[in-house]
Structure 1
Amino acid sequence: MTRSNAPEALLVLPHLRVQNANAISSPLTHGFPSITAFTGHMWALQRKLVAAHIPIKLDAVGVVCHHHEEQVTDGYVKTFRLTRNPLDSSGQSAAIAEEGRMHLDVTLLFLATPHANNGVSAPWPLNQEAQFGEWAAQIGEVVARMRIAGGSVLPTRPKPGRRTRPWMALLPEDHDEKTRAFARWRRQWLPGYALVGRDDLLTDRLRTLSNEESGATLLDAWLHAARFNHQPVSEGDAQETSSKKLRWADPARQKGGGWTVPIPVGYAALREPHPAGSVANARDASTPFVFVESVYSFGEWISLHRLSGVHELMWRPETDPATGLYRCRSGYVFNDSALSRTDTENLEFD
């Protein structure tokens, strides 16, 4: 398929209220849906756009969280609030399957290009503003009937001073104009935090662990960075024992280090794909089936005012059938990191 030469457009679904979304993002993490849930929503939405004859191709997705409420009990040890299932056919209580649920207020952003017809790239329509408004309204109606991360989309109430209806606009091609446009748009998404990728944190933590003990792996670095590692830290003059004070802290989590979190970023195949229809009870009998396990990395929740461009908060899915790796790549690059793209290619593990 020929790539369109038309400039990218930004599709924004502001302040979506999602009820009972899946809070368990992987076998090892919880607290927010996986980024793969939002890329999966993007693909499902793409299929519905094709069925509705809306000539838009969605290429990347960004997530801005304004509010989240995980359904857990209060206390020192938190547990999920589980639902009581109906009685089974014998009249007995059905087994309780643990499920994590949470309520969300999120803004979803999509980078879009014109959908090519018969392999021929197409430009955006001439009456862009009117056509974009019509498409955004149609897409809003489509999303209202879909699920996001397993949760139901509730109607968004109009609020004074807040843009709650879907909208769409072209990204300026000039760099300075694009920066000014993003600075104007991001004010609509505040207060809110965007989830971005921080693969460089794994390298930094692995380097630190390797200096302390030999044989440290990426898994060790991920587990070490995913928890609080409190140890006594001295304060005052080390030469004067009487004036030296001790406090418990995590040396690797310094003040101003950011709101970093362990996240799943995709899946790794465990073996070659099975032919379509050869695996019993598969959801889709017309698509090859492959068993996978989660791939983990690190992310950071960052306020929108700290970002300079819309591409920094976007995630793009990448598929490599040769290696069996299916993962999402973030467009965010940490300014103080000396890592290049080639350095971070293998910063994931399963």
Structure 2
Amino acid sequence: MSNIKRILLLPHIKVHNANALSSPFTIGFPAMTAWLGAVHALQRKLNSHGFTNIKFTAVGVISHSCDLQTHKGTGDFVHSIIGTGNPLDKTGARSAFIEEARCHLDVSLVIEYIGIEKDDETLVQEKITHILHSSMKMAGGDISSFKPPEFFKIENGNLSDIQALTRKVMPGYALIERRDLMLEAMADGQDAIDAILDYLVIHHKCDKQLDDQGNDQVTWSSNRKAKGWLVPIATGFHGLTELGEAKNQRDPSTPHRFAESVVTLGEFKMPHNITSVDEILWRYQTDKPNNLYLCKQHDKAQAKPEDILSDLYI
């Protein structure tokens, strides 16, 4: 196997009104399934335009900004979702609608690929630019602008190659998986929800000591269980029913099943801290015996090449 990774960088994609409701109980940065799905859709569009050998095998997501559309007024205890301005009904009143959490994003996508020759790079750049401008959404949002795509070749262990890439995405934060923290907490007897909350809550502590004059001196400190910018992220789906058919399903030729979101811990990490591009790359991985359809950064050796960024829809 070659020790050279071929990377396509889509820098500073600005997305308007992306879906911020990444799971039924988390709000914020879009789910990883949205980003891998968008890159897979881009691959299929390129394939249909004659670039049949192109395959995108892994994706890294760098967040430069995330503007969550919420509001907290004076005296409010919680934030409220800023709704869209829907048309009035015939009586002049606002029509009933389901609130949708939205965010405006500036992200860069680091895509590992195969099937693009050196002579074809300019053509591929032009076609990607056309597709992103004309017929693509990302995480349910509209693409308003982006910088020209760039190609990189990164040799494993070559720090200068990695730095050439990371300089292009700074300042920003790469989203990495911290499932290891969840596994450690659950091995100690916590359930999944308790494990997530235990790493997200801020613990306040006060220490009382006597000063030189004999008076009480109270010192407050606040910290979390683990260091780093930890966030809950949706990384896939867990099948609840057997594969079959459902009335009015979107694609009648594809087996259907009901599923629920899989949520774990992630960490936003500055790219200049990474020493290998594999640290930020996500891949699809299925666990059929357990009915899991996941986006993962670990166990890459167990992923079959034909399963990577393939049609894993449920």
Q: TM-score range by the shorter chain?
A: 0.7 to 0.9
Map 1:1-350 → 2, pairs under 5 A:
7-54=4-51, 55-75=53-73, 77-87=78-88, 93-114=94-115, 125=117, 128=118, 130-144=119-133, 145-156=135-146, 164-172=147-155, 175-177=156-158, 179-206=159-186, 210=188, 216-228=190-202, 230-234=203-207, 236=209, 243=216, 245-247=218-220, 249-250=222-223, 252-253=225-226, 257-274=227-244, 278-330=245-297
Offset of 1:79 from its aligned partner? 1.0
Does structure 2 conserve the Cα–Cα contact (< 8 Å) formed by 1:262 and 1:296?
A: yes
Offset of 1:74 from its aligned partner? 3.7
For 2:205 and 2:152, the matched residues in 1 are separated by: 53
Aligned with 2:80: secondary structure? coil
Aligned with 2:160: secondary structure? helix
Offset of 1:306 from its aligned partner? 0.7
Alpha-carbon spacing, 1:281–1:85, altered in 2? closer, same or farther (3 Å): farther
Counterpart amino acid of residue 194 in structure 1:
A
Offset of 1:171 from its aligned partner? 3.0
Deviations 1:158-215 (A, max 9, x none): xxxxxx210123333xx343x21111121111111110001122234446xx4xxxx5
Alpha-carbon spacing, 1:93–1:245, altered in 2? closer, same or farther (3 Å): closer
Alpha-carbon spacing, 1:251–1:312, altered in 2? closer, same or farther (3 Å): closer
Deviations 1:295-324 (A, max 9, x none): 111000011111112211111111122321
Normalised by the length of structure 2, the TM-score is: 0.84
Offset of 1:226 from its aligned partner? 2.9
Alpha-carbon spacing, 1:331–1:216, altered in 2? closer, same or farther (3 Å): closer
For 1:332 and 1:31, the matched residues in 2 are separated by: 27
Alpha-carbon spacing, 1:328–1:235, altered in 2? closer, same or farther (3 Å): farther
Offset of 1:139 from its aligned partner? 1.5
For 1:200 and 1:267, the matched residues in 2 are separated by: 19
Offset of 1:28 from its aligned partner? 1.2
Aligned with 2:44: secondary structure? helix
Q: Which runs of 5+ in 1 are unaligned?
A: 115-123, 157-163, 334-340, 342-350
For 1:40 and 1:324, the matched residues in 2 are separated by: 19
Counterpart amino acid of residue 155 in structure 1:
S
Aligned with 2:290: secondary structure? coil
Higher strand share: 2
Q: Which runs of 5+ in 2 are unaligned?
A: 303-314
Does structure 2 conserve the Cα–Cα contact (< 8 Å) formed by 1:267 and 1:293?
A: yes
Deviations 1:15-55 (A, max 9, x none): 11111111111111111111110011122112112101212
Deviations 1:95-117 (A, max 9, x none): 12110111111111111012xxx
For 1:242 and 1:92, the matched residues in 2 are separated by: 63
For 1:65 and 1:251, the matched residues in 2 are separated by: 23
Aligned with 2:252: secondary structure? coil
Aligned with 2:230: secondary structure? strand
Alignment-derived partner of residue 345 in structure 1: none
Normalised by the length of structure 1, the TM-score is: 0.76
Counterpart amino acid of residue 165 in structure 2:
W
Moved over 6 A (4+): 89-92
Counterpart amino acid of residue 82 in structure 1:
G
Q: Aligned residue pairs: how many? A: 295
